[in-house]
Structure 1
């Protein structure tokens, strides 16, 4: 299997503050195009680079796999900070390799994304991948490596906790506390074809579930057994109410509801 090598760490003392390490990485770039998803990592990277005077183009891709609230968040920050923002489609749903949902689906998603971004800017493309991402199965990093995408947070040795601390220092408010939120296609079990209608159902269900449980970690999964809701420890006390809500939503949508279970990261990667 192809191996992703996202980049080297800068040479600095472990005692060097994360913000200083990231600033040193960004000094290498006369300008950047940051691909932002609407999550804490890429938004923090874009905000930090902009605040440090790096000429910046921010590019956000919309698709059925991107929650509408993520796009709204990007647009809000772009106006608030004065970014040059480009919103584009990615075209991944035109790629049968992506829609077939193999275990390396993310490779084809990121291939489409970065090829589209490269056609919109001559600036080096940067992602918001952080150090913790290297511990996961991330085929999208392979596509990034093949296209010379840079990962400033990784190069600076920043983990997720460092990124959140940086977001707080930048005054990004609720962005700093956003839960990890992979794309909606990650809710679909490997081998089940990706359909926009499934992702719309997942987005609607998770929005309702978040209100019901008060937030925290939860996932609405599309599996071979039916719709499953995974709950983090903080939401387990709401399992009964979740069952009632989801039974209703699945009944309205003519879907099978298969109950709740404990949240497990990467649960949809069957055979990974």
Structure 2
């Protein structure tokens, strides 16, 4: 039995399922399997909670069109949650707890008993309080239960023809702000526009613009660092300062998940 067969089999005893769909490859594969196994009894839900980049929302919509799964977008404002905006080490816990409440509300309205997400085995090694919050609220992770790694997810998605198979991993815009520094709409906006500027100017696919007390710290994929040398950095710096950053620094080591946690310690 292939890994995909195992994933499809995971859904075999479920009457209906809701997939928390982010716009990335992990939840896309889960949505594909859910729809393949359950057809119209599978539903994808994406939360537009004001810290999700527009390109992630656009990706989620595109994925659902490719798969054919019914898709609902729910909207609410995380910035109204003081526990979230104060941005301590439990920010992701508060975020995912609030998300869970909204997902459960939709599940009740749709008469769906099982909610799943795209968490995979690679996600279990980092500090992820958000995963704890989801588990506390009964959200299940079929990719973990069927032992899918990130590499296996990408390989399977590519074989299935899902356009998102090589989409770089992403996270909410608030993850670009070090713990202890407040999350605001202004900071989120300049981070989102800043990352768009970096992608357009440098041509990198994996991009983070960290907002460290107004300083833009640019990280790109370690395999893309050579692009810094081929770019007119003065032009990029001017663009970033025009949207409110006070200065700009380049990370010569390249992007690494969880690096912002180290910065904030």
Q: What's the TM-score once normalised by structure 1's chain length?
A: 0.88
Alignment RMSD (CA, Å) = 1.8
Q: State the 1:28 CA deviation.
A: 3.1
Which of these residues, 175, 179, 203, is aligned with residue 214 of structure 1? Answer: 203
Give a deviation string over 1:215-253, Cα, whole Å, max 9, x none: 332210011371110122232223253632442123212
Alignment pair present for 1:226 and 2:198: no
CA shift in 2, pair 1:86/1:93, >3 Å: same
Which of these residues, 241, 256, 266, is aligned with residue 258 of structure 2? Answer: 266
Q: Does structure 1 retain, via aligned residues, the 8 Å contact 2:194–2:240?
A: no
Runs of at least 5 residues in structure 2 that lack an aligned partner in the other structure: none
Which of these residues, 9, 16, 22, is aligned with residue 37 of structure 1? Answer: 22
Alignment pair present for 1:163 and 2:149: no
Q: Tell me the equivalent position of 1:108.
A: 94
Structure 2 counterpart SS, 1:259? strand
Which of these residues, 92, 108, 122, is aligned with residue 78 of structure 2? Answer: 92
- Which fold has the larger relative contact order, with Cα–Cα distance below 8 Å and residues 6 or more apart in sequence? 1
Q: Tell me the equivalent position of 1:235.
A: 224
Q: How does 1:17-32 map to 2 (within 5 A)?
A: 17-32=2-17
Question: 2:218 & 2:116 partners in 1: Cα distance?
Answer: 33
Q: State the 1:259 CA deviation.
A: 0.9
Q: Tell me the equivalent position of 1:252.
A: 242
Question: 1:165 & 1:226 partners in 2: Cα distance?
Answer: 37
When the two structures are aligned, how many residues end up with a matched partner?
Answer: 256
Q: State the 1:156 CA deviation.
A: 0.5
CA shift in 2, pair 1:244/1:238, >3 Å: farther
Which structure shows the bigger proportion of residues in helix conformation?
2
